[in-house]
Amino acid sequence: MELPSNWDEVAHTNHFLQTPYLKVLENSAPTNMECFYIGIFDSTALIGVALAQYLDLNKLESFGERDKCFKTMIRNFVFKNFASHVLFLGNNMITGQNGYAFSKEIDFASISEILLQSADAIKGYFKNKGIKIHIVSFKDFYEHCSVELKKNHFASVYEFNTQPNMIFSIPHTWKSKEDYIGAFSKKYRDQYKRARKKFDGVVVKELMLDEVIQNEKRIYDLYYYVAKNAPFNTFFLDQQHFSVFKKQCGHRFKLFGYFIHEELVGFHSVLLNGDVLETYFLGYNDKVQKEKMLYLNMLYNMTEFGIEHGFHKIIFGRTALEIKSSIGAEPVKMSGFIMHSNTLINKYISKIFPKLEPELHWQQRHPFK
């Protein structure tokens, strides 16, 4: 991977466009993923960087095993036959606006043009290899950005909103977990106490690189159990992903193991991205998770880590919305844009796409006084 020498300078606002993280993708991306690193130049000067990911869904053994119903079977058939070659402009492995960065102010007319040009260039690359890209998706834009993109070259591209991104904005007055617990209403303080009581006997420990390597197979098995029981997947991580991540990114990537009698029964991981804490993949033994309320306790632990280390917000992503809202995260609308290479499908994509999305029913919780 040969990138311009000032790449990280241009990408300084986002650690997940910088070379240590790109090396993680290069060395341990999912087996059905190919990554592209895009340099944007003004004459000969590098002024922007972007990330794209190609996914071959034919290489996926499962799209997710939780919802075994007729609608899921239809959806899987459609994905296999009409949507198996997918190009993402952005990062499909983390939630949030992590697709591009510029070293100077760029207007949205230029950004929308650059994104479409990048997609066309990569589609051309695959066409030369005899592969037809079915779908191009421009991933994860906060509302103000999607509004601006729609005013420009994205005017005719279908905009979609899937599950919201659950984000915890940490009040600047909070410095400790006591501030957090003290802000709960009685009902949610009781929930916190109940979860912590159940958690008794579990030892949490941050794992250093040698410990991640030592526990790699167990970590992967715990991750894989959770991943394959998700409602929908487009990839599974490489088996060495966590150790490669730790090796490349050091303290910016933290993995915490959950032990009972020295046996690893769960883990969670986080990414440190400036003043933003991004929650990453986790895994657990299902029996222990039920007994010890492991998942809820992981959410509390991530929140307390974010508060005590001075982060401004925590990105919790777009799964398990209700339980995340119960610990204080709030839904933030994010948009994507999508187009299909088949003109007929693309014409009706606004009718087709919503039917393929799993239905979302959840109740937002409001845990604070």
pLDDT, residue 240, reads 96
pLDDT, residue 320, reads 92
Note whether 203 and 260 are same-domain residues.
yes
Note whether 135 and 22 are same-domain residues.
yes
CB 253 within 8 A of CB 245: yes
At 254-284, the pLDDT tens digits run: 999 999 999 999 999 999 999 999 999 999 9
pLDDT, residue 57, reads 84
Using left for φ > 0, alpha for ψ between -120 and 50, and beta otherwise, residue 230 falls in beta
Top-confidence residue, 315 or 84: 315
At 100-147, the pLDDT tens digits run: 999 999 999 999 999 999 999 999 999 999 999 999 999 999 999 999
CA distance 225 to 241: 16
The whole-number average pLDDT for the span 78-95 is 84
Note whether 113 and 195 are same-domain residues.
no
Note whether 233 and 266 are same-domain residues.
yes
Note whether 214 and 302 are same-domain residues.
yes
Note whether 103 and 171 are same-domain residues.
no
Note whether 40 and 185 are same-domain residues.
no
The whole-number average pLDDT for the span 293-319 is 97
CATH number of 171's domain: 3.40.630.30
Note whether 144 and 180 are same-domain residues.
no
At 26-53, the pLDDT tens digits run: 999 998 999 999 999 999 999 999 999 9
**CB within 8 A of 173, min separation 6: which ones?**
179
User: Is residue 66 included in any domain, yes or no?
Assistant: yes
In terms of DSSP bridges, do strands 85-89 and 135-142 run parallel, antiparallel, or are they unpaired?
parallel
CA distance 26 to 5: 17
User: Is residue 79 included in any domain, yes or no?
Assistant: yes
Residue 235's CB is within 10 A of a number of other CB atoms, namely: 19
At 56-82, the pLDDT tens digits run: 988 876 444 444 555 566 656 666 667
Whether 229 has a pLDDT exceeding 90, the answer reads no
User: Is residue 115 included in any domain, yes or no?
Assistant: yes
User: Is residue 1 included in any domain, yes or no?
Assistant: no
Note whether 91 and 207 are same-domain residues.
no
Note whether 219 and 157 are same-domain residues.
no
User: Is residue 153 included in any domain, yes or no?
Assistant: yes
Note whether 156 and 197 are same-domain residues.
no
CATH number of 148's domain: 3.40.630
pLDDT, residue 270, reads 98
CA distance 216 to 221: 9
The per-residue DSSP string of 144-185 comes to HHHHHHHTTTTTTSEEE--SPEEEEEPPTT--SHHHHHHHB-
Start-to-end C-alpha separation, the chain? 51
Number of domains into which the chain is organized: 2
User: Is residue 98 included in any domain, yes or no?
Assistant: yes
pLDDT, residue 155, reads 96
Note whether 184 and 157 are same-domain residues.
no
At 165-216, the pLDDT tens digits run: 999 999 999 999 999 999 999 999 999 999 999 999 999 999 999 999 999 9
CA distance 185 to 335: 32
Residue whose entry in the numeric block shows the structure tokens 């998942």? 295
User: Is residue 74 included in any domain, yes or no?
Assistant: yes
Q: Which domain holds residue 218?
A: 166-331
268-274 contacts: CB < 8 A, separation 24 or more?
268/298, 268/301, 268/302, 269/242, 269/245, 270/302, 270/305, 271/15, 271/16, 271/94, 272/15, 273/14, 273/15, 273/16, 274/13, 274/14, 274/15
